[in-house]
Amino acid sequence: MKLTGILFVAISIITGCSQNCKEKIARIYSTNRKALENEREVNSFSLRLSYIPTAVLTHKDGKDAQAAPQDAAYYYFKLQVVCPEENNPGNGNTTPLYYGLDSLFATRETQPFANPVSVEPVITGNRKRFEYLLVFAQKDFPPGTPIKVVFFDRLFTNTKQVFVFDRKKIDEIETLQCYANEA
């Protein structure tokens, strides 16, 4: 009887914590959107780089376990580029928009810097909007400093864009991931 009661309480706490954790993640993200998203207009192109919590990518549904430890060793970002109609690189040869992208991103503006572990194009079905999932190893960012993602943009604006994120806010969300069963 005692074991059943303890088990019921434990399941109730875990279920409640999962919901509370999801709400905390959403609240922290919403409250600190400026520290977790960077958006700018450059040469009529709209660029937005957003931090994506690990749990958003690693949990498919409520039955999934917590994020695997190797997933928690990375920071995930989504780059969205919206092109003006008159200067749309999607109208010509699109090969450069999908291959060799890892060399366009770095953790610093000068050497030595680390490139992302992975850059994956996200097919949107829209010839004016391009999206990319960027995966950086957490160890590649110096501890105790803001997270800086540098985009050496030779595809759209031919400029260097530096996006700075509040590492404390990102780490605050990431520490909640270990308690969330679903995000």
What percentage of the chain reaches a pLDDT higher than 70? 71
Ranking 12-26, 69-83, 111-125 by mean pLDDT, the lowest is 12-26
Here the CATH number for the domain that contains residue 106 is: 2.60.40
Q: Is 100 left (phi over 0), alpha (psi -120 to 50) or beta?
A: left
Domain count, the chain: 1
Encoded tokens for 95: 């090969």
Q: Is residue 3, in this structure, part of any structural domain at all?
A: no
Alpha helices in 32-151, H assignment, sequence order: 33-36, 54-58
Q: Is residue 74, in this structure, part of any structural domain at all?
A: yes
Task: Report the amino acid identity of residue 119.
Answer: V
Q: Is residue 17, in this structure, part of any structural domain at all?
A: no
- pTM reported for the whole predicted model: 0.77
Give the per-residue pLDDT at 124. Answer: 85
Helix (H, G, I), strand (E, B) or coil at 161: strand
Q: Is residue 156, in this structure, part of any structural domain at all?
A: yes
Range of the domain at 49: 32-177
Q: Is residue 106, in this structure, part of any structural domain at all?
A: yes
For residues 20 and 118, the model is more confident at: 118
Q: Is residue 18, in this structure, part of any structural domain at all?
A: no
Measured CA to CA, the distance from residue 85 to residue 168 in angstroms comes to 38
Mean pLDDT over 97-117 rounds to 86
Neighbours of 98 (CB within 10 A): 13
Summary count for the chain: helices (H), strands (E)? 4, 8
Helix 2-31 with 167-177: angle, nearest 10 deg? 160
Contacts of 111 (CB under 8 A, 6+ apart): none
Q: Is residue 27, in this structure, part of any structural domain at all?
A: no
Measured CA to CA, the distance from residue 146 to residue 141 in angstroms comes to 8
pLDDT at 182 over 50: no
Q: Is residue 93, in this structure, part of any structural domain at all?
A: yes
What average pLDDT does the structure give for the chain? Answer: 77
